[in-house]
């Protein structure tokens, strides 16, 4: 089922990186555990539906912190490449999520399992994103701090939607999710599957089928869209910090969107309503998902997950044929 107002039997949920590491926390173990516990409570009603469920998550704040730790310790400890940092963030975030989601289920007497699959995602080594870093990660900085870091560490720094300056890295498009059949098998077994974390570990493949990592962070919403398309899952839910997508954001004429067609959202994107540093990547992923055969993208707040599923909250972007 995938019409608005129904609960889908199969679902991919993409959780934003700021939901697993919100602004305003230091990132201590106790803070991270508390955030994860809150996620578990928010997603419990969805997990208890018993539907086929795959969860992806962002890693922007966390992988940026890993890079900063490395830069501070670089004269004592050899830094890891960015792909390994992504793998570290994928495993660490998934560990906290697995534990929190299962704890929430067990508190209700539900025996459902939650598992994580460390996920590699193939990209094109010639993707133009490698020549134009655009994915913001890590902390926000003042302009002077950004200039100092660029000079000291060679980081590419850009202003991010009026919120400050951030480190940006290449973000190539996902081409193939490695072992996607295993993701499908585990999801069909009844377990909640966490996969594609941080957009997946970015790798390229040689002509002989051998893979190696590359320095990049893939957009998790695009990976989520590709995963859902490949698995023929018609519903994608993107959970973020805002209740709905809006046009003219931050202006007196700001207007929240309830239900729009793919053609309508594409036209609004062409008018410049969705900046690259904020809602833009989510809208791009939504369009790609619908163009790839998806039927409905739901965008809303984490705490509104079930109302969003039922069509009572959030923004619903639907394929033209069902609009």
Instruction: Give the residue carrying structure tokens 């134009």.
Output: 132
| Residue-wise pLDDT tens digits, 91-142 | 999 999 999 999 999 999 999 999 999 999 999 999 999 999 989 998 889 9
Structure tokens at 119: 């996920």
Backbone angles phi, psi at 137, to 5 degrees: -135, 160
Q: What is the mean pLDDT of residues 80-92?
A: 96
3-class DSSP state for residue 119?
A: coil
| pTM of this structure | 0.92
**Which pLDDT band, with edges at 50, 70 and 90, does 224 fall under?**
very high
Strand stretches in 62-169, DSSP E? 114-117, 120-122, 135-141, 157-159, 165-169
Q: Is residue 153 part of a domain?
A: no
Q: Domain for residue 275, yes or no? A: yes
pLDDT at 18: 67
Q: Which of 135, 138, 197, 314 is catalytic?
A: 135
Residue 268 lies in a domain: yes
Q: Is 17 an active-site residue?
A: yes
Residue 2 has pLDDT above 50, yes or no: no
Q: Does 103 participate in catalysis according to the annotation?
A: no
Q: Is residue 43 part of a domain?
A: yes
Note whether residue 311 is domain-resident.
yes
Is 132 annotated as catalytic? no
Q: Within a domain: residue 167?
A: no
Burial class of 196 by CB neighbour count within 10 A (0 to 12, 13 to 18, 19+)? buried
Residue 198 belongs to what domain range? 10-60+91-123+173-322
* Residue 277, pLDDT score: 67
Q: Among candidates 94, 6, 2, 74, which has minimal Cα distance to 312? A: 6
Q: How many domains does the chain have?
A: 1
Q: For 267-305, write each residue's pLDDT tens digit.
A: 999 999 998 767 899 999 999 999 999 999 999 998 899
Tell which residue, 226, 87, 50, 71, has the closest CA to residue 139.
71
Mean pLDDT of 233-249: 93
- Which of the following is catalytic: 59, 196, 282, 300? 282
Which residue, among 197, 196, 318, has the nearest Cα to 263 in the 3D structure?
A: 318
Structural domain includes residue 307: yes
Whole-number percent of the chain with pLDDT over 70: 97
What is the per-residue pLDDT for 82?
96
Alpha-carbon 157 to chain mean position: 21
From the list 17, 138, 234, 294, the catalytic residue is 17
Residue 82 CA to residue 217 CA, distance in Å, equals 8
Domain holding 246: CATH number?
Answer: 3.40.1160.10
Residue 192, in any domain of the structure:
yes
Query: Among residues 200, 220, 229, 314, which one is catalytic?
Result: 220
Which pLDDT score is estimated for 26? 79
User: Does the active-site annotation cover 251?
Assistant: no
Provide the pLDDT confidence category of residue 4 given band limits of 50, 70 and 90: very low
Q: Is 192 within 8 Å of 101 (Cβ atoms)? A: yes
Sorting pLDDT into bands at 50, 70 and 90, what band is 163? Answer: confident
173 among known catalytic residues: no
Percent residues over pLDDT 90 in the chain: 78
β-sheet bridge partners, residue 269: none
Query: Who wins on pLDDT, 323 or 100?
Result: 100
């Amino acid at each position: 089922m995938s019409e608005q107002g129904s609960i889908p039997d199969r679902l991919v949920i993409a959780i934003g990186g700021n939901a697993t590491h919100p602004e305003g926390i230091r990132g201590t173990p106790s803070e991270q555990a508390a955030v994860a516990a809150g996620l578990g409570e928010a997603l419990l009603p969805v997990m208890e539906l018993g539907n086929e469920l795959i969860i992806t998550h962002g890693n922007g704040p966390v992988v940026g912190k890993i890079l900063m730790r490395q830069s501070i310790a670089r004269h004592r400890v050899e830094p890891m490449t960015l792909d390994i940092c992504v793998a570290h963030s994928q495993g660490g975030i998934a560990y906290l999520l697995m534990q929190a989601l299962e704890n929430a289920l067990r508190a209700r007497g539900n025996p459902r399992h939650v598992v994580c699959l460390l996920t590699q995602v193939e990209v094109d080594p010639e993707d133009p994103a490698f020549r134009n870093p655009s994915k913001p990660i890590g902390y926000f900085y003042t302009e002077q701090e950004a200039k100092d870091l660029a000079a000291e560490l060679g980081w590419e720094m850009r202003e991010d939607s009026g919120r400050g300056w951030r480190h940006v890295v290449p973000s190539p498009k996902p081409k193939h999710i490695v072992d996607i059949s295993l993701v499908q098998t585990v999801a069909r077994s009844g377990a909640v599957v966490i996969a594609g974390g941080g957009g997946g570990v970015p790798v390229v493949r040689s002509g002989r089928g051998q893979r190696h990592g590359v320095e990049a962070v893939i957009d998790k919403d695009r990976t989520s869209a590709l995963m859902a398309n490949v698995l023929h899952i018609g519903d994608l839910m993107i959970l973020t910090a805002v209740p709905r997508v809006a046009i003219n954001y931050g202006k007196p004429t700001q207007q929240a969107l309830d239900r729009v067609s793919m053609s309508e959202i594409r036209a609004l994107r062409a008018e410049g309503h969705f900046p690259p540093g904020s809602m833009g990547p989510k809208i791009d992923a939504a369009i790609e998902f619908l163009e790839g055969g998806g039927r409905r993208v739901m965008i809303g707040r984490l705490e509104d997950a079930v109302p969003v599923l039922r069509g009572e909250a959030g923004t619903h972007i639907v394929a033209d044929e069902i609009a």
